[in-house]
Structure 1
Amino acid sequence: MSDDDLLAHLQCLGLEAREAGLYLVMLRTGRTAATELAEHLGWKPDEAEQALERLVEGGLAAACAPDRSEALPVDPTIALDHLAHTRAAELCKAQTSAANAYRDYRRSVRPQATDDLIEVVTGAQIIDRIRHAESSVESHVLRFDSPPYHIPAGANPAEVENLRRGVEYRVVYSKSAVQNHAYYAANIQPCIAAGEQARVLPTVPVKLTIFDRRLAIVSMSFVEAEVNDSLLLVRPSSLLSALTGLFETSWRSAFPMHFSDRVPPALRPIHVRMLELLGAGVTDETIAELLGISRRTLSRNLEQLNQRAGTVTRFQLALYAVRNGWI
């Protein structure tokens, strides 16, 4: 890392330019008197003394003389952690202040408006607002997933990254989303593999994503999108509570798309995926297409599953899976 890069990083953490520059010099000179530092930097002696005093007070340098005329750099870990936390607190306070100022502005422009609770987003802003909400989520996401999609229906690296850092995702897919071969392979499968909890219904009541129960995004359906390509942002309110309740009710009635850890490890991966798709309610033709196999191969694998479970019909196979805790 260059000196310029390190200087910029130290200033981002809250050090003033003079303090950061002095610290960089001390990393090269070691124990040094303030007068020598001033000479090295072309500063006045009192300027170097003041900057050195602030470094000592901040924990980045240690005084080596009773009058603090000399100092040496010390391990910055604790001091920089403190600076980072302080900076984060300042940014949070600034964010809150800006949000409050904007709300005051909206109230002054339209005192009777409900813009604080519901916002309509259209056009080019749609994708940016969706991505910002997903990147800012802290703990959990609830989603009804159904076409059409504002963002191209491919991979969702933001969700995979959020799952990796501990964000919980519960998603109810419509059958039309699962039947989309490209979307199933590029988005649904990788997200389930990364830890998403997924269920399916023949249809979902609304296109919806709820972030941390503090923001909901309601998108248009196929028919509505043809007329009005827009989405609604819903903030904490009785409407948001109702949308959350709608999701929880649908979640309880939806069918699981992935199995528990009680599935026998000897069960072939293709058989697990077949059971998941059978539970999703899609046709044999769609299952074969999603798995990239022929209908004949699908039938042969279904026979193998029935033989393993000691069942004859698909209904019996489903009962066996439930009774043995696979689902």
Structure 2
Amino acid sequence: MGDVHARLLAALDESDFRARRGQAVPARIVTGPRSRIWGVIGTLRAAVSRELLSCDDTGYLIRAGVPERIQARGPQTLTAALDRGVAVRQLTTQPGLLADRNLGAIVHRAGGQARVVGRIPFKLSILDRRVACLPLDHTVLADGFQLIRDPVLVHALVALHRQLWSSGRVPQDAGLPPRLAVLLPVLASDEPDEVACRRIGLSPRTYSRRVAELLVVLGVKNRFQAGAEAGRRGWL
């Protein structure tokens, strides 16, 4: 994975060098309010006619505190693309899939394709292999991105996506249901049960019952083992 990130940085440096010499189209920096930025992304995705490639991890959006109304625009634009017959191929992670259970930004269940890799080294969106969007912080498009039209750089990004895709696996949808997945972070925080159940809006009795159910699903005997098993499966 480190090799992929190094190749990305080298490709960006090469494109920047050629742009300064007038040999490549310089990247356009898109910044501003998140709603405006997503307006630009929506316009770009609405123009896609053949293929949309991406590297996505919904956990990035949650950690960045992106409002739900902004988060929802991603799956809306992707399902609209699928409805037009566009091929959508997304790379994600197992924790990203779990974080996405309610949002639906990974659209493999709606007709897209997805592969799961160990880590997403950078957020990326490639449109018809002609234009690419790369976040300024490499994680969240809604916080600003580079709009890349240099065909040499776009080709290099497609090759990096292909490399990651070939190493990924088909998503396993037999993960934890949302009612159990929500328990993992509070168990990992080691909070007392009376604090943990209030934080996720459950009664103490329901919380205890679901923790017991979680132990059965994970095939472990106690909460410490549950945390270790969830980490082994990439769910924490």
Secondary structure of the equivalent of 2:121? coil
Q: Is the CA contact (8 Å cut-off) linking 1:117 and 1:237 kept in structure 2?
A: no
Structure 2 counterpart of 1:154: 72
Aligned 8 A contact 2:49 2:84 in 1 = no
Greater than 6 Å deviation, 4+ residue runs: 284-287
Contact 1:184/1:290 (<8 A) preserved: no
Secondary structure at 2:101's aligned position in 1? Answer: helix
Distance (whole Å) between structure 2 residues aligned to residue 113 and residue 127 of structure 1: 30
Q: Number of aligned residue pairs: give it.
A: 166
CA 1:164–1:214 in 2, change beyond 3 Å: closer, same or farther? same
Find the aligned partners of 1:301 and 1:136 in 2 and give their Cα distance.
44
The CA deviation at 1:202 is 2.6
Question: Highest relative contact order (Cα 8 Å, sep 6+), 1 or 2?
Answer: 2
Q: Residues 157-196 of structure 1: matches in 2 within 5 Å?
A: 157-180=76-99, 183-188=100-105, 191-196=107-112
2:149 is the alignment partner of 1:219: no
Give the structure-1-normalised TM-score: 0.43
Question: Retained in 2: the 8 A contact 1:207–1:220?
Answer: no
Give 1:298 shift: 5.0
- Which deviations, in whole Å up to 9, do the C-alpha atoms of 1:271-327 show, x marking residues without a partner? xx32xx3xxxxxx79893169x93544565678xxxxxxxxxx9xxxxxxxxxxxxx
Indicate how the Cα distance of structure 1 residues 203 and 220 shifts in structure 2: closer, same or farther if over 3 A, else same. farther
Partner of 1:289: 181
| TM-score, structure 2 normalization | 0.58
Q: Is the 8 A contact 2:180 2:210 kept in 1?
A: yes
The question of whether the paired residues in 2 share the 8 Å contact of 1:192 and 1:198 is answered with yes
Q: Offset of 1:238 from its aligned partner?
A: 1.7
Query: Match of 2:148?
Result: 234
> Within 2, Cα distance between the matches of 1:250 and 1:161?
25
Q: 1: distance between equivalents of 2:40 and 2:149? A: 14
Counterpart in the other structure of 1:62: none
Structure 2 segments unaligned to the other structure (5+ residues): 1-18, 184-208, 220-228, 230-236
Distance 1:118 1:257, change over 3 A: same
Identity of aligned residues (%): 24
Cα distance 1:202–1:285, how it changes in 2: closer, same or farther (>3 A)?
Answer: farther
The 5 Å alignment of 1:56-71 reads none
Q: How far apart are residue 174 of structure 1 and its match?
A: 3.2
